[in-house]
Amino acid sequence: MQYRRSGLSGLKLSALSLGLWHNFGDVDTFVNYQKIIHKAFDLGITHFDLANNYGPPAGSAETNFGRILQTDLKSYRDELIVSTKAGYDMWPGPYGDFGSRKYMLASLDQSLKRMQVDYVDIYYSHRPDPETPLEETMGALDYAVRSGKALYAGISNYPAETASRAADILAKMGTPCLIHQPKYSMFERWTENGLLEVLEEKGMGCIAFSPLAQGMLTNKYLNGIPKDSRAGKVTGALQSEQINAEILQKINALNEIAKERNQSLAQMAIVWLLKDVRITSVLIGASSVEQLVDNVNSLKNMAFEESEIGRIEKILK
């Protein structure tokens, strides 16, 4: 495992972090995700990324992670980076969504109880709130750090201009913004339209989520849409109409380059992000130990020839 410094901070994150967005809720199998968490730590993954609403049901991923942390990993707490977020709908009424001080701090207290910890290492504002002053949301993050309930503050899904303002507000408060978590992959590149430059200028790290574009950048869809895939389910996060002829052509062309590199398409997609030194870590999900190991093995070949980069860009255009 490699460890990369988050921006200009003193904190290093594992180049690959384990995200608990899917596969760690009460609807999933405890023994399975317990094994995944154990294996991740054994492979050198030290950062475990959660949010208040991860599950389903909402909150259950934190509860389940907390149970494993208390029974299996408690003695390793100082070797772990645990992060959580608040910003999306979590409980009924006017105080369980977006970015008010009321919601951000109440949610943090709930997350700490679910995970049975005294503090989290990183606490994020999960998304900007158009109806709450940015100073209020950042003030809540600042208080979370000053109270000792979080060690660092972060933001997620913030556009470049808002991220810049958020960083300035936090800096004036004396709590630097550690990191930004955007959706970023070969198929989702909005971060390249100014955000990465802002993060570099402000000394912030960047951790990319959905690096495999909800599974599109894997071998799963090379021959169409399997019935058991996310795109094959009506309720899935990936809709079948997204897997069109043009996308299938791109996936197969990218897969040919990956094969030449002796990598799977997923492995190439992960290290394609890590080739940029501004990327602190890439968030990977896993539904099995085997999938986790395959993703970590991507780090065995991180170098790209200029010709490979050119061919990839041509395909993605």
Q: What is the pLDDT of residues 111-163, one digit of tens each?
A: 999 999 999 999 999 999 999 999 999 999 999 999 999 999 999 999 999 99
Burial pattern 277-289, b for ≥16 Cβ within 10 A else e, equals: eebbbbbbbbeeb
User: Does residue 221 register a pLDDT over 90?
Assistant: no
φ, ψ of residue 153 to 5 degrees: the values are: -110, 145
Nearest to 217 by CA among 260, 262, 250: 250
Which residue reads 């990327």 in tokens? 279
CA torsion sign for 231, 235, 236, 239 is positive
Task: Give the pLDDT score at 244.
Answer: 83
Note the pLDDT tens digit of each residue in 256-305. Answer: 999 999 999 999 999 999 999 999 999 999 999 999 999 999 999 999 99
If you search the block for the tokens 């990369």, which residue do you land on? 4
**How does 12-46 read in b/e, with b if 16+ C-beta sit within 10 Å?**
bbbbbbbbbbbbbbeebeeeebbebbebbbebebb
Distance CA 72, CA 69 (A): 6
Ramachandran area for residue 213 (φ above 0: left; ψ -120 to 50: alpha; else beta): left
How much is the mean pLDDT over the chain? Answer: 95
Q: How confident is the model at residue 245 (pLDDT cuts 50, 70, 90)?
A: confident
Residue reference for tokens 């008010």:
100
